[in-house]
Structure 1
Amino acid sequence: MLPSSRKPYASAALAHRRLWRGRVGLMLVAGLSVLAGMTDAIGFMASGDFVSFMSGNTTRLAVAISAGDLGLTARLLLLVATFILGNALGVVVSRLGKRRALPLLLCIAALLCAAALWPLADTLPALLAAIVAMGMLNAAVEEVNGLPVGLTYVTGALSRFGRGLGRWMLGERRNGWRVQLIPWTGMFVGAVIGALLEQQMGMRALWVSGVLAGVLGLVSLKIPRRWQLSFMPR
């Protein structure tokens, strides 16, 4: 047991580590959200389908069913099922990689580069590869210092931010709600970049997404192992 004189120093050191773990985690979230927004914008502009925004594809699916459009219904069902499969594969790869971000992000980079290489005459296989990659991306970071974060969807982030704002207006001073704007901002900035890239390169712009995924994987090597374990799904 620590002497009473040393307890404040130990507590301060613990708080300092927690602060830096949070900052590093949020910087990683920002980078991954840029990747998600960039990839979603490229895929949407090139094919008309969302790559990571499954809420949008779900609404489109409902409209297609109501219109009796069997072809579009089947296509959107395939996209949603592929995204679910990607999330499952993300957890599997994360576990096989001993919950390190690098193997997961390298797999994502490989999928995105493969999508960029696919012949432009048929975009569906490239689209499916990108959707699997975005599903897998959600296994890279699940929470930061106990705060849940979403990487490929921002409705939840905006909802948590709005609820936090409401509590703040009522005089409550809970921490954490402001950081929910980080994934939203990252995805917005990434989508702008992706849209500009797609205008110049088309579906080939997924090369940039693949390179960014690889770079983020290399950057993750600088993150302490115990911090990565706290970020990724258990």
Structure 2
Amino acid sequence: MLPTASTHRASPGHLHTQKWRGRIGLAMVAALSVLAGMTDAIGFMASGDFVSFMSGNTTRLAVAISDGDMSLTLRLMILVATFIVGNALGVVIGRLGGRRALPLLLCIATLLCGAAAWPSEVQLPALLAAIIAMGMLNAAVEEVNGLAVGLTYVTGALSRFGRGLGRWIMGERRNGWRVQLVPWSGMFIGAILGAVLEHHLGLKALYASGLLAALIGLVSLKIPRRWQLGYMPR
């Protein structure tokens, strides 16, 4: 018997599941973006260097090169390279952990707490640990219901939101562009929290980031495995 047109339509149950998968995924994005913003603000205020905003460090690197400041040039090159290493490690740990968020987030929590415990007289090792953690964070969620999301950078999110707004003004009614404000809002709120914590605790405020990473990891145990497989990089 040939399939009827109704056979190809998504069932109400499937649509309900997809809706909840999207909502849970966006909640995860929001929480992880808060973590990224908090950690970046703490690192920046404590050391003057970004730990997740590599666009900023790249611009500073270019300026340092033009000024002939070799010490700062070398430092920034190490920071950018460390972030790349963190991204690679995030994929590796994500794969070894069965593409579950918990093992990855526990590794991130360990790195952040280790950075907080490092003696404040020598900040660079702590800074590098935090940067590796933020690089790894990008492997926790890559897309939600087919929509690409970024966790430790928001320029892409704002750009996708702006392009979606332009299409909406021109009469197009595509879905998904509004959710790009979720990672931006999360990172903004997290940065405010991180700045407040750094004022009181200095680099030790990274303990709060580590605890938040572990908490998000534990909460992720409630997310169905098949949904996590859709969130994390393949």
Q: What range is the shorter-chain TM-score in?
A: over 0.9
2:217 matches 1:221: no
Q: Deviations over 1:163-190 (max 9, x none)?
A: 0000000000000000000000000000
Counterpart in the other structure of 1:65: 65
Q: 1:203 is aligned with what amino acid?
A: L
Amino acid at match of 1:135: G
Say if 1:201 and 1:66 are closer, same or farther in 2 by CA, change over 3 A. Answer: same
Aligned match of 1:160:
160
> 2:13 aligned with 1:13, yes or no?
yes
- C-alpha change, 1:170 and 1:191, in structure 2 (3 Å) is same
How far residue 228 of structure 1 moved from its aligned partner, in angstroms, is 0.0
Equivalent runs, 1:136-215 vs 2, <5 Å: 136-215=136-215
Q: Which amino acid aligns with 2:223?
A: I
TM-score when scaled to structure 1? 0.97
Partner of 2:231: 231
- SS of the equivalent of 1:139 reads coil
Kindly provide the amino acid, as one letter, of the partner of residue 219 in structure 2. Answer: V
Identify the residue that residue 128 of structure 2 maps to in structure 1: 128
Deviation at 1:11, TM superposition (A): 1.5
- Which moved further from structure 2: 157-166 or 12-21? 12-21
Deviations, residues 21-41 of structure 1 (Å, cap 9, x unaligned)? 000000000000000000000
What CA distance in whole angstroms lies between the structure 2 residues aligned with 1:10 and 1:145? 15
> Deviation string for 1:42-100 (max 9, x for gaps)?
00000000000000000000000000000000000000000000000000000000100
**Distance verdict in 2 for CA 1:208–1:2, change over 3 Å:** farther
Distance 1:180 1:123 in 2: 34
Query: Matched residue of 1:63: which SS?
Result: helix
Percentage of matched positions with identical amino acids: 76
* 1:94 corresponding residue in structure 2: 94
- AA paired with 2:143? E
Mapped partners of 2:5, 2:210: distance in 1:
52
How many residues are treated as equivalent by the alignment?
Answer: 234
In the alignment, does 2:122 pair up with 1:103?
A: no
- Structure 1 residue identity aligned to 2:94: S
List per-residue Cα deviations over 1:77-133 (Å, max 9, x = no partner).
000000000000000000000100000000000000000000000110000000000
Q: Which runs of 5+ in 1 are unaligned?
A: none
CA–CA distance in 2 between the matches of 1:138 and 1:59?
A: 21
Q: In structure 2, what residue type is equivalent to 1:53? A: F
Aligned residue identity for 1:160: R
Q: Which runs of 4+ in 1 moved over 3 A?
A: 1-10
Distance in 2 (alpha carbons) for counterparts of 1:198 and 1:2 = 65
The RMSD of aligned alpha carbons is 1.6
SS in 1 for 2:230: helix
SS in 1 for 2:233: coil
- What is the CA distance between 1:12 and its match in structure 2? 1.1
CA distance in 1, matches of 2:7, 2:27: 30
Shift of 1:5: 11
The amino acid that maps onto 2:99 is R
Q: 1: CA distance between counterparts of 2:67 and 2:182?
A: 38
AA paired with 1:28? Answer: M
2:24 paired with 1:24: yes
